[in-house]
Amino acid sequence: MSNNITTINPTNGETLDTYALMSSGEAKQVVDACYEAFLEWRLESLESRAKMVKAIGQALQKHKEALADLMVKEMGKLPDQARQEVDLCTGICDYTAEHGPKKLADEERQPGNGERGFVTYSPMGVIYGIQPWNFPAYQVVRYSIANLMAGNGVLLKHAENVTGSGLLLEKIYREAGLPENVFRTLVISHDVSDEVIGHSAVRGVTLTGSDGAGRKVAAKAAEHLKKTVLELGSNDAYLVLDDADLDLAVETCVQGRVYNGGQTCVAAKRFVVTEKNYDAFKQRYVARMQALTAGDPNQKGSDLGPMARVDLRDALHKQVEESVSKGAKILCGGEKPSGKGAFYPVTVLDNVTPGQPAYDDELFGPVAALIRAKDDEDAMRIANDSRYGLGGGIISKDVKRATELASKYFDTGMVFINGFGVATPEMPFGGVKDSGYGREHGGFGMLEFVNAKSVIVVKE
């Protein structure tokens, strides 16, 4: 096994940088240092922590262009979308700074066995985050800022292909004034990562990734009785109901499939269209998708960049081939390009049925699966016919009925009505079933890794 990580530009296949992996001993030193820093950080007032979180948001803006440029180089994101990602990160910092002190404040209670009592949300210790490459800044900010606000120390193991982004974020946090070692990036192998999970100072583990990775990390954490939060993959269904506005449906479903190159956990992936609209939707949708161009993200006219890595592109193509071998039909795209880079064409599959990867699994790239439903009720059945449950969407002119379907029947963590969305600081983010458990954003993430401690004064 190599002792280094080499990052590759997926647009041209060129080497970006090489990083030395930390040894087991070096990683342990970082964990120990983070714990020592936590012992001081936990004593900072909520207002002081909020001020620091706000400062991190400002520092992210100061380094926006450098961070965005690195994301473009490391994983092929379009520059505008990279800048939007940094803005979202700052929005998370601002929201957390504003609402954190109230969310984490002590709560007065009247106990039955004493004169007075209160609940205090005590920091737990060091929280270890294992994060993916698709949103190199956002994925880190999402869990780290909530836990810094809660008073925890934070460790990051970023995806290997965005190692540079992880190290730059550590530098930005430090520059903002965060005390040394409160947030650290670990450049480590999977074996050393397992050792970090087992370290006594690590009190919680959060992972964003595939359901396969989630099972492994959750099992390892369970061996040591560590709490976990898992935000895993999905094959989100977007329902085009009988009364849908087809212009809006096509626009939403195109954007929902190709945003971030289709490499988004909460992307629209299965398009469940009722019999009434299926043929018209298919014709217009394929025409719009076919017109999109995958190219160098820095070149004008590129609607999406390459996929993040060649091996991920090749795995996606195998899923397409297997789906076709089991009856799916390619309406556009579906051919793996030759040449440099990790490019894959925008692809639409028809005749998608159970048993095909396009129906059962997550296609993490610009491949759309069209599924025909008899009617609205059948569309909802198909949407829920999945082991996943992260997000989803409903396109309908009857918003009242759509919201009722979303709240009562859609078995998923997030539902978008008449539009596509990714994440917002004000609303909880997370899923059910094989899409994981726990919530981030909306104040919920700040309470995932705290000790809700009862303090009861029996007698004054």
**122 Cβ contact partners less than 8 Å away, ≥ 6 residues apart:** 42, 151, 450, 451, 453
Give the residue ranges of DSSP H helices in 17-126. Answer: 24-41, 46-62, 64-75, 79-103
List the one residue out of 288, 236, 252 whose CA is nearest residue 396.
Answer: 252
Distance CA 437, CA 174 (A): 31
Helix (H), strand (E) at residue 109: strand 107-109
List the one residue out of 153, 158, 189 whose CA is nearest residue 26.
Answer: 189
- Provide the annotated active-site residues: 231, 265
Cα–Cα separations (whole angstroms), residue 30 to 26, 43, 214: 7, 21, 24
Indicate the DSSP class of residue 5: E
- Amino acid identity at 181: N
**16 Cβ contact partners less than 8 Å away, ≥ 6 residues apart:** 6, 7, 8, 9, 73, 74, 164
Distance CA 303, CA 248 (A): 19
Distance CA 66, CA 79 (A): 11
List the one residue out of 118, 122, 156, 164 whose CA is nearest residue 140.
Answer: 156
The widest CA-to-CA distance across the chain, in whole angstroms, is 77
In 209-320, which ranges are E strands? Answer: 227-231, 237-240, 270-274
DSSP-assigned beta bridge partners for residue 347: 367
Q: Which two tokens stand for residue 17?
A: 């940088």
List the one residue out of 434, 392, 398 whose CA is nearest residue 415.
Answer: 392
3 state DSSP class of 67? helix
